[in-house]
Amino acid sequence: MCGIVGYVGQGKCKKYVIDGLKRLEYRGYDSAGFVCIDQKHKQFNFFKKVGHVQELEKALHDLELKSSIGIGHSRWATHGIVNELNTHPHFNCDKSIAVVHNGIVESYEEIRKKLIESRHEFESSTDTEVVAHLLESLIKTHKTLKAAIVDLVRQLKGAYALVFLFEQYPDQLLLIRKRSPLLIGVGDDEMFIASDVLAFCDQTNKVIFMPEESFAIVKKDQIELFDFEGKALIIKPQEIDFKHDQVDKQGFEHYMLKEIYEQKRSIDRSISFCKFIGSNNFNNLTHISDNFLTQEAKIQYQDSIWSQLGITSEKIKELKYIYLIAAGTSWHACRIAQFFFENICKIPTYVYLASEFGYMPFFPEENSLAIFVTQSGETADTLEALRVVNSCNVFTVAITNVPSSSIVREANGFLPMQAGPEISVASTKAFSTQVSVLFWLANRVALEKKLIDIEVMKAAEEDLLLAAEVLEISIESYKWEIKQTLAKKYSKYNRFIFLGRHISYPFALEAALKLKEISYIFAQCYPAGELKHGPIALIDKETPVILFSSLNDLIYQKLVANAQEVKARNGHLVTFVFEGQQELIELSDYSFIVSRVNPFLGPLAMTGLMQFFIYQITKELDRPIDRPRNLAKSVTVE
Ligand code: G6P
């Protein structure tokens, strides 16, 4: 959602900014813009286009733009419709200050009103434009640019990553960060600016993550960094190990398909990482390579997992409550994990939707742990919830796929997943890796609390690897049938009902979300036991019911009864079952049969097949699978 790319250096501004914007396309956007200072005429040159970055690229293609400083932006509309006027960059009255912005300026209406009274004129409906005008008026009333910036940030409420370009200062960019990420890549006589490291990761590996509430004046060979009071900050670049080839499609038609197939490896890698954390060679490790997997496993189960999480073994032993907080697909992973923590660790576990959290009473308990689960580490709702929990003195831990993300800097401790970059907007491998890491963590907590012994811990790890294998093998078993007949058949329906019970209910929620977000087919999900309380009225031949089975015998029997309710009303029933679940198979119009695994890992075993089926249905409908309409990968606004 929204991307910022900027450059100051050696004349390759246009190329870097356009390439950078393309790399951030996966985050989701609806229009893109670019501004630079033309070296010859020493003035702004700017372009805005609705639609893909390619449109902007085409507009710039034939222009001889010699420029060594500029910024680009991809916009995901929040304030004002999608059109060129609302596309960034935005400008002040005489178009001498250009700005691009990620986030939301909450105080923009009152500021805009005051500025209109003092004769500022606005072209767009955005919150961003007021920032350019406000800075213009503050520059006039303050002695220095720095003093004007300090006043500016005092007046701007909300979340923002802002990058400014000034005609008056053609060799510098101004960067401001509050609650929205902004990074500086340090090159050789050039600086790369972006809201996501992917934009410049093959230009330099030296990165400065701008601290929360800071601003920077960036020239090609100099960075001055300040806090919001204007006090100078010293911060050294960090070295990152991230290559753009990690995000190639590698021959797959879509990132989503590639990522579905990467799941087994992501899970294996993540579990290896969890097992090895803290052994001397791997201290402070945030990312592992595949070579790592070939090393002999020495299972030590050291306390170092707790130092990675920033917590003590004593605190884990005393744990009385767990809170799991997340959004979207990550929330579904948490709903599944609730069963792990409550059953394996015997700890009452509450799962919260991040977007609801700030508006509900929260009763922090002593000896509790709040775990925030987020693929991107940048979801605004999740970050906001984290800030609330941090202020309640509850210990916070982030589980994320992006070690350089904002959540890592704000949580008390973090556990990096090893899923690798996930590019497709619909989450696949991040989901299965989250479920796996949470299952591992639940067992590790149980071991610490002496609820299980080391043999059970090892067996749990084996179970995870087996479930990951089943996840992959099941796709292979049904691949051809799905491609040749099933996808075509089911892509013709306009609506679906999804059912699950117990641990298969949150999984059914995830399946319904997957179908909705990429195929745009309407899907409604219910706990199967609720069917009789209303949704049963919807059962007809035109509304296939997709039911996910369970390996818990009692739940299975209940699901058989629910399947009978569907069939008794002439419903069309598709089931995802486990080997030997004959009654369900016989009741179904079609069954996907998956090998048996540890009952807690049933959803994980079915994940690949469910995702592949939905992917192929969507392909039949010819939708933009990796970038569905209206959606963003990283939702950085509340
Ligand atoms: C967006 C994405 C979803 C994701 C959700 C939470 O809606 O499209 O795929 O599950 O954000 O993202 P997070 O990065 O916090 O897991």
Task: Assign residue 304 the CATH number of its domain.
Answer: 3.40.50.10490
DSSP category for residue 326: E
Q: Is 379 in the pocket of ligand 1 (CB under 6 A)?
A: yes
88 and 200 co-located in one domain: yes
Residue 184 C-alpha to ligand 1 middle, in angstroms?
25
How many structural domains does the chain have? 3
Alpha-carbon 223 to chain mean position: 29
Residue 178 lies in a domain: yes
Q: Is 631 in the pocket of ligand 1 (CB under 6 A)?
A: yes
Instruction: State the sign of the Cα–Cα–Cα–Cα dihedral 550, 552, 555, 561.
Output: positive
300 pLDDT more than 80 = no
In 597-608, which positions are buried (b, 16+ CB within 10 angstroms) versus exposed (e)? bbbbbbbbbbbb
Residue 382 C-alpha to ligand 1 middle, in angstroms?
10
Q: Is 77 in the pocket of ligand 1 (CB under 6 A)?
A: no
Q: Can you tell me which atom of ligand 1 is nearest the CA of 426?
A: 9
276 and 302 co-located in one domain: yes
DSSP category for residue 294: G
| Amino acid, res. 388 | V
DSSP 350-384: EEEEHHHHTTS---PPTTEEEEEEESSS--HHHHH
152 and 9 co-located in one domain: yes
Mean pLDDT across 245-256: 85
Residue 631 C-alpha to ligand 1 middle, in angstroms?
10
Region of 455 (left: φ > 0; alpha: ψ -120 to 50; beta: rest) is alpha
Token pair belonging to 32: 């893109």
Instruction: Give the separation between CA 597 and CA 247, rounded to whole angstroms.
Output: 31
358 and 271 co-located in one domain: yes
Q: Is 382 in the pocket of ligand 1 (CB under 6 A)?
A: yes
Could you tell which of 331, 379, 515 is best to mutate to test the pocket of ligand 1, judged by most ligand atoms within 8 Å of the CB? 379
Residue 628 lies in a domain: no
pLDDT tens track for 117-133: 999 999 999 999 999 99
Domain termination residue (choose one: 210, 243, 276): 243
Token pair belonging to 133: 């005008």
Q: Is 406 in the pocket of ligand 1 (CB under 6 A)?
A: no
Residue 625 lies in a domain: no
Nearest CA to ligand 1 atom 2: 633
Could you tell which of 427, 513, 611 is best to mutate to test the pocket of ligand 1, judged by most ligand atoms within 8 Å of the CB? 427
Could you tell which of 25, 329, 334 is best to mutate to test the pocket of ligand 1, judged by most ligand atoms within 8 Å of the CB? 329
496 and 530 co-located in one domain: yes
Q: Is 132 in the pocket of ligand 1 (CB under 6 A)?
A: no
Residue 626 lies in a domain: no
Q: Can you tell me which atom of ligand 1 is nearest the CA of 327?
A: 6
Q: What integer pLDDT is reported at residue 490 of this predicted model? A: 98
Q: Can you tell me which atom of ligand 1 is nearest the CA of 354?
A: 15
Residues 6+ apart with CB under 8 A from 248: none
DSSP category for residue 534: T
Residue 44 C-alpha to ligand 1 middle, in angstroms?
36
223 and 296 co-located in one domain: no
Residue 465 lies in a domain: no
Residue 371 lies in a domain: yes
Q: Are 202 and 210 within 8 A, CB to CB?
A: no
pLDDT interval class at 301 (50, 70, 90)? low
Could you tell which of 336, 376, 515, 614 is best to mutate to test the pocket of ligand 1, judged by most ligand atoms within 8 Å of the CB? 376
The residues assigned a catalytic role are 2, 633
Window from 191-195, 306-310, 583-587 with minimum mean pLDDT:
306-310
292 and 368 co-located in one domain: yes
Closest of 37, 35, 73, 81 to residue 53, by C-alpha: 73
**What percent of the chain clears pLDDT 70, i.e. is strictly above it?**
94
User: Going edge to edge, which strands form the sheet with 222-227?
Assistant: 90-91, 97-105, 158-166, 173-178, 214-219, 222-227, 232-233
pLDDT interval class at 635 (50, 70, 90)? confident
Residue 635 lies in a domain: no
277 pLDDT more than 70 = no
Closest of 176, 238, 162 to residue 213, by C-alpha: 176
pLDDT tens track for 305-357: 887 788 899 999 999 999 999 999 999 999 999 999 999 999 999 999 999 99
Residue 340 C-alpha to ligand 1 middle, in angstroms?
22
Domain termination residue (choose one: 382, 417, 452): 452
260 and 314 co-located in one domain: yes
CA–CA distance from 224 to each of 5, 67, 172, 230, 264 (Å)?
19, 22, 11, 11, 45
Closest of 169, 256, 105, 267 to residue 605, by C-alpha: 267
pLDDT interval class at 212 (50, 70, 90)? confident
Q: Can you tell me which atom of ligand 1 is nearest the CA of 425?
A: 8
351 and 446 co-located in one domain: yes
Q: Can you tell me which atom of ligand 1 is nearest the CA of 376?
A: 14
Residue 327 C-alpha to ligand 1 middle, in angstroms?
6
Residue 307 lies in a domain: yes
Instruction: Give the separation between CA 241 and CA 254, rounded to whole angstroms.
Output: 25
564 and 501 co-located in one domain: yes
238 and 260 co-located in one domain: no
428 and 492 co-located in one domain: no
Q: Is 375 in the pocket of ligand 1 (CB under 6 A)?
A: yes
**pTM, entire model:** 0.79
Domain of 540 in residue numbering reads as 471-620
Q: What is the 3-state secondary structure (H, E, C) of 16-75?
A: HHHHHHHHCHHHCCCEEEEEEEECCCCEEEEEEEECCHHHHHHHHHCCCCCECEEEEEEE
Token pair belonging to 191: 């600086």
Task: Assign residue 169 the CATH number of its domain.
Answer: 3.60.20.10
289 pLDDT more than 70 = no
